Amino acid sequence: MQQDILINWSPQETRVAIVEHGAVQELHLERTLERGLVGNVYMGKVVRVLPGMQSTFIDIGLERAAFLHVADLLPSAAAVRGEGEPSQPRPGGNGQVPIERQVFEGQALMVQVIKDPIGTKGARLSTQISIAGRLLVFLPQDEHVGVSQKIPAAQREDLRRRLQALVGDAASGGGGGFILRTNAEDSSDAELAEDIAYLRKAWARTKAAAQKLPPASLLHQDLDLLQRVLRDLVTEETQSIRLDSREQFDKLQAFGREFMPAATQKLQHYKGERPIFDLFSIDDEVAKALGRRVDLKSGGYLIVDQTEALTTVDVNTGGYVGARNFDDTIFKTNLEAAGAIARQLRLRNLGGIIIVDFIDMVRDEHRAAVLAELRKQLGRDRVKTTASGFSPLGLVEMTRKRTRESLAHMLCEPCAICRGTGAVKTARSVTYDILREILREARQFNPREFRVVASPKVVELFLDEESQHLAGLSDFIGKPISLQAESAMGPEQYDIVLL
């Protein structure tokens, strides 16, 4: 499927949109002050070991301590500053060396971020360092030589033999393992050898920095979003990469000529008068992706609700009544929804557990066809996604690997009024809260007067429908109660002033 990549650059933010047939499929954002950390290598300091969770918290210089699980801890990487071999404690009953026997508080560890901080959770770390290049991924602590599983099996063995010979013959120094990336399928030996040399030099610089810099220091930083576009997002289907900044275009072209010449040929400088994202109404699509409702062309719609635990997607027929019978109407709506759901997952970058509630279908062949279409559409996702069959309740359970914040979490924050719940108390509920609070205060204090400061809607209700209850309470406590409207107050906010 043909695709175009549009890049909108500004000093404070870089935005990348992947467009297929006029529809936005993915949106990637990177802000100068909020740049992602995945791929960065740090010299960390162990601040707390948790044997019960078989994990440890590590200070890498961020606001929150990062998290390292025992499964991501290489015994050979437990040596201070990435060198030497630690003593090998006896494995526990499950064959895994307990984390408390591998690390200790105050220890310095070379670690790499494998998942950005999300919400209240700190970054996820690993001591299994990997450095990505244009054609290869370098594993400095491993000797394994592998080939991407996306390359046909018939070619993998030949590519592995070629790569093994180059790894052993590279003049830049031996050691380390390599994985050949999908885009290296047709690369020459010279290109592979060049990438091997580059990656080994990058690792040598990282190790040298580890010897000099104190804990909580950055040793190696991954490429920025503009460079990752050429490295990770360009495929054979990519027709063009349009960038609206001349300065960044020149820099990216120079970077591409050195590391990704094939991708650089598709790079274009956009000189149009209209903002580049207006070409496909991308800003409008982003605004829609921040809402709950997604309209389908047929007249049906989706309701997408994102919570901390999981994301739910509800499919509804809406105004669609065009099929011959009710079963076909439901089937066609669900079939269209399957493609829309896969696109929304990519566009919104939703991860974790996802529950889809398709409209109930009676016929088994309809359910099988909808599930097959959903899996087909999910197969286009560059992020690992799996979908199970229909549950006894008619729900489809899915998981999508969470690698970074969702679009909503990047662009939005919880409402200051409802605090993220999506609902506020009615004005009548607030008036009754106020009446109870006045009665509670009257039993503890003896002021001359009570003054209620609240939103205009609450004060208006006290002066109208709730005036009798307010007067009754005033008589009961034997104190006057005055009202003051404050337009700056939210619907649930109020103050009771003792005069």
Helix (H, G, I), strand (E, B) or coil at 329: helix
Domains of the chain, earliest start first? 3-35+224-282 (3.30.420.60), 41-220 (2.40.50.140), 292-411 (no CATH), 427-498 (3.40.1260.20)
Please state, in angstroms and rounded to a whole number, the distance separating the CA atoms of residues 216 and 43: 5
- Where is 58: in which H helix or E strand? strand 55-59
The residue type found at 474 is: S
Read out DSSP for 277-307?
GGGGTHHHHHHHHTSSEEE-TTS-EEEEEE-
Report yes or no on whether pTM surpasses 0.75. no
Please state, in angstroms and rounded to a whole number, the distance separating the CA atoms of residues 167 and 196: 7
Question: Radius of gyration over alpha carbons of the chain, in Å?
Answer: 29
Q: What is the pLDDT along the chain (499 residues), one digit of tens a residue?
A: 788 999 999 999 999 999 998 889 999 999 887 788 888 999 999 999 999 999 999 999 988 899 999 999 886 444 333 443 333 444 444 557 889 889 999 999 999 999 888 777 889 999 999 998 878 999 998 888 899 887 888 888 888 888 888 887 544 456 789 999 877 777 888 888 878 888 888 898 899 999 999 999 999 988 889 988 988 888 888 999 999 999 999 999 998 887 778 788 999 999 998 999 998 899 999 999 999 999 998 888 999 998 888 999 999 987 766 656 788 888 999 999 999 999 999 999 998 999 999 999 989 999 999 999 999 999 888 888 889 989 999 999 999 987 678 888 888 888 888 877 778 899 999 999 999 999 999 999 999 999 999 999 999 999 999 999 999 999 999 999 999 999 989 889 999 999 8
Count H helices and E strands in the chain, helices first.
12, 24
Residue 153 vs residues 136, 161, 177, 181: alpha-carbon distances, Å: 18, 13, 20, 14
Please state, in angstroms and rounded to a whole number, the distance separating the CA atoms of residues 489 and 491: 7
